[in-house]
Structure 1
Amino acid sequence: METPDRPLEIIWDITYACPLRCFHCYSESGRRPSRQLERDEMLRAADAVIAMRPYGVCLAGGEPLLVPGVLDVAGRMTAAGVRVSLFTGGWTLRPQMVGDLARTAARVSVSLDGATAEVHDRVRGRRGSFDRAMDALALLDAAARERRLAGDGPLSFGIDCVVVRSNFDQIDQFCTDIAPRFPELEYVSFGAVIPEGLASRTGVVEHELLSDAQVALLGSREFTRRLRALAPPSVQVSATDNLALQMHPDRPFLPVLQVEPDGAVRAMPAYEGTVGNLLTDPPERLWERALERWRDPFVVETLRSVHTMEQWAEATRKIDYRFGSDADRARIDRRPHFAPTA
């Protein structure tokens, strides 16, 4: 497969600030400085993203809706023809934001990691987070209906679920119980938890990382077809094993970059280690450095031996420690121990 001359997708964790404390948080948000840029610098970073000519940009975090000016950033990229999607836990979504969201983002995904408050709140680390997420979905649903009836542009929104052991048995309920509550809901997406960030901790790996059999099920077409049959016909249901993010050297190439809040660019989206900054380095050079990292002998050797989820988690820890900064390694060393609750 020919290597693209640019990233086709960019994930921008626009802040590390977050009201939630998810035990599997990839970016360890809420546990580290927010590092978000001022509005003018964010717009400069957005222009650098545009210069990289990606097909799409995902605004994530942390909680993007905590960032003043985030919708100005989304609008800047949308006006340049870049498809913008935004992920939110729903805690901070307010009615006055919805109109601007509809104008500046191609889609809005609400993170829901349990079909019940008990499971979702445990995964997300804050009581009441399920109710806030459901309120956000109801708000988006009402706004989407209003826009449709008024003949305005559509408001595309859906549910994104990170599948861990705690919620694996609730997957069907998302389709049969949650999706029907929101008539304008467009999609429900299920993705296997990635052993990245806090999800690469040994405790999470032992108790919440999916088994290889569960991952295989999520990646099967038959499983997705069964879920689609359970959901309302208007709702698109997808499921993925997320193994593409492993970036295994024997797997198809994944042209994705991840950007940290201050514009620092990670070479590999599921691993620590930056290769420059959007605000200081030419876009083409950042992409070249990313390609160099993927081909680094240590990366290739470490990932080529990965055949199971537990081995992936071990490889993540090795790569993070090898290419992360001193601050990254210090943060890894002080990660809190994960103890599952009943």
Structure 2
Amino acid sequence: MTSSPLDVHPGSRLVDLFEHGLDAPICLTWELTYACNLSCTHCLSSSGRRDPRELTTDEAKAVIDELEAMQVFYVNIGGGEPTVRPDFWELLDYATAHHVGVKFSTNGVRITPEVARRLAGNDYVDVQISLDGATAEVNDAVRDSGSYATALRAMGNLADAGVKNFKLSVVCTRHNIPQMDDFKEIADRYGAQLRLTRLRPSGRGADVWDELHPCRNSNGSCTTGCCPVASRCSPVTPSFICPRTGRRCRA
């Protein structure tokens, strides 16, 4: 993703801009909507219905104007499913036109071939497709029936359009940990980067924590070990440390 331009005056030194730290965050996370076409059992924001208080198009653009003025590098947009907002693509174009890069997470439902081609032409956009099972059986059990096929179709559209280095995002659960190498094969097939994230006991995730948390089984022993693909995953993702073994997975 291309970063925002730095305002460097003639005769000034670039290092001086960082003497006292940055004046604004590099990245902000923005839950643009709680509306979603899925009802994932482990959703950390309990998304589903649209919040009537969510920002209008003009209000959202005003936020983007502020981010540009602050020289925020990029905004990480989630939800909910951000692409179900009718104005999502308008807001995405508005942000990138105002030097605010956009990373967004999606289940892929709106990533059509046409949309994929549009995304391929924008260097300010980073796309992340969510998939929580390397098979339809495992994925659809937590992300709704048909969501596996939807995600793979979206990745195929992105790959065909020439979108480079989009992310395949996996929430690690007890049921998909044995599929890590299969996830890596899927990512490689579509030219994606594999990104592993932790299950969080928030929203509906709190309700299924004991069932899905990958480091606790019926006898209390660790079910994960070290992630077999950790060294090949995206280096920018957070670390996961097994609380029982202390082993780190760079995921």
Q: Quick check: TM above 0.5?
A: yes
2:74 is matched with which residue: 56, 61, 64? 56
Instruction: Say whether 1:197 aligns with 2:203.
Output: yes
What is the CA-CA distance between 1:97 and the residue it aligns to?
Answer: 1.8
Where do 5+ consecutive residues of structure 2 fail to align? 1-19, 217-221, 245-251
- Cα separation, 2, equivalents of 1:129 and 1:95: 17
What is the CA-CA distance between 1:9 and the residue it aligns to?
Answer: 1.5
2:180 is matched with which residue: 171, 175, 180? 171
1:106 is matched with which residue: 108, 120, 125? 125
- In structure 2, give the amino acid aligned to 1:198: R
Q: What does residue range 1-342 of structure 1 map to in structure 2 within 5 Å?
A: 5-31=23-49, 33=51, 35-104=53-122, 105-124=124-143, 126-144=144-162, 155-176=164-185, 178-182=186-190, 185-201=191-207, 204-211=208-215, 213=222, 217=226, 224-225=230-231, 228=232, 240-241=238-239
What is the CA-CA distance between 1:236 and the residue it aligns to?
Answer: 5.2
- In structure 2, give the amino acid aligned to 1:40: D
What is the CA-CA distance between 1:155 and the residue it aligns to?
Answer: 4.4
- In structure 2, give the amino acid aligned to 1:24: H
- In structure 2, give the amino acid aligned to 1:189: R
- Cα separation, 2, equivalents of 1:88 and 1:37: 19
- Cα separation, 2, equivalents of 1:216 and 1:50: 43
- In structure 2, give the amino acid aligned to 1:115: A
Query: Secondary structure in 2 aligned to 1:110?
Result: strand
- In structure 2, give the amino acid aligned to 1:209: H
Cα–Cα, structure 1 residues 129 and 186, in superposed 2: closer, same or farther, change >3 Å?
Answer: closer
- In structure 2, give the amino acid aligned to 1:195: P
- In structure 1, give the amino acid aligned to 2:211: H
- Cα separation, 2, equivalents of 1:13 and 1:83: 16
- 1:256-287 C-alpha deviation (Å, 9 max, x unpaired): xxxxxxxxxxxxxxxxxxxxxxxxxxxxxxxx
Cα–Cα, structure 1 residues 47 and 175, in superposed 2: closer, same or farther, change >3 Å?
Answer: same
Cα–Cα, structure 1 residues 141 and 237, in superposed 2: closer, same or farther, change >3 Å?
Answer: farther
What is the CA-CA distance between 1:167 and the residue it aligns to?
Answer: 1.1
Query: Secondary structure in 1 aligned to 2:176?
Result: helix
Count of matched residue pairs: 219
What is the CA-CA distance between 1:210 and the residue it aligns to?
Answer: 2.8
- Kept in 2, the 8 Å contact 1:60–1:88? The answer is yes
Identity of aligned residues (%): 32
- Kept in 2, the 8 Å contact 1:187–1:237? The answer is no
- Cα separation, 2, equivalents of 1:214 and 1:58: 31
- Kept in 2, the 8 Å contact 1:71–1:101? The answer is no
- In structure 1, give the amino acid aligned to 2:141: R
- Cα separation, 1, equivalents of 2:107 and 2:116: 15
Match of 1:149 in 2: none
- In structure 2, give the amino acid aligned to 1:208: L
Match of 1:300 in 2: none
- Kept in 1, the 8 Å contact 2:129–2:155? The answer is yes
What is the CA-CA distance between 1:35 and the residue it aligns to?
Answer: 4.3
Query: Secondary structure in 2 aligned to 1:29?
Result: coil
- Kept in 1, the 8 Å contact 2:164–2:192? The answer is no
Cα–Cα, structure 1 residues 30 and 137, in superposed 2: closer, same or farther, change >3 Å?
Answer: same
Cα–Cα, structure 1 residues 42 and 32, in superposed 2: closer, same or farther, change >3 Å?
Answer: closer
What is the CA-CA distance between 1:206 and the residue it aligns to?
Answer: 1.2
Query: Secondary structure in 2 aligned to 1:196?
Result: coil
- Kept in 2, the 8 Å contact 1:215–1:241? The answer is no
Where do 5+ consecutive residues of structure 1 fail to align? 145-153, 229-234, 244-306, 310-342
- Cα separation, 2, equivalents of 1:142 and 1:117: 22
Question: What's the RMSD between the two structures over aligned residues?
Answer: 2.9
- Kept in 2, the 8 Å contact 1:87–1:111? The answer is yes
The alignment's TM-score, normalised by the length of structure 1, stands at 0.57
What is the CA-CA distance between 1:242 and the residue it aligns to?
Answer: 5.6
What is the CA-CA distance between 1:107 and the residue it aligns to?
Answer: 1.4
